[in-house]
Amino acid sequence: MSNPAPPVQPAAPLTPAEDKQWASFAHFGGVLWFLPALIIFLVYKDRGQLTRQESKEALNWQITYSIAIVALTLAISVIGTLLVLVGAFPLAQLLGYLPYLLYIVNAVFSILGGIRVNAGGAYRYPVALRLIS
């Protein structure tokens, strides 16, 4: 007969420096898409208040960005096809650059968030759906 496994102990709370570090990483990771913010939120949300708050904010922004990029891509596909059909090919080509511009906005917001949190503050994205509360 085997002994039951001992209960899992909760992880130790983050030190203030670690809390600030992981909170910053959640924002900086936005340059790579939503996975860093999601992983940091799931792993560290119960270990540090700042990390919980900032990883949730970064994750909400990344979800908003993902929805926007999908919607923009679909709109460009439809509008671009219509523009090509009416002979406005250069304008259709120009629309193809919009997802890249949106990525640049994502990168700038993510870097600004990481810098602000690393400096000891908090960051709230100017436009974000608050889906995770």
User: Each residue's pLDDT tens digit in the chain (133 positions)?
Assistant: 678 888 877 889 999 999 999 999 999 999 998 999 999 999 999 999 999 999 999 999 999 999 999 999 999 999 999 998 998 888 888 998 999 999 999 999 999 999 999 999 999 999 999 999 8
Its pTM stands at 0.86
Q: How far apart are CA 122 and CA 88, in angstroms?
A: 45
pLDDT for the residue 44: 94
For residue 35, the SS3 value is helix
Q: How far apart are CA 77 and CA 87, in angstroms?
A: 15
- Category of 123 on φ-ψ map: left (φ > 0), alpha (ψ -120 to 50) or beta: beta
CB atoms within 10 A of CB 131: 11
Record the tokens describing residue 67, joined without a space.
Answer: 């929805």
Q: How far apart are CA 127 and CA 68, in angstroms?
A: 11
pLDDT for the residue 133: 84
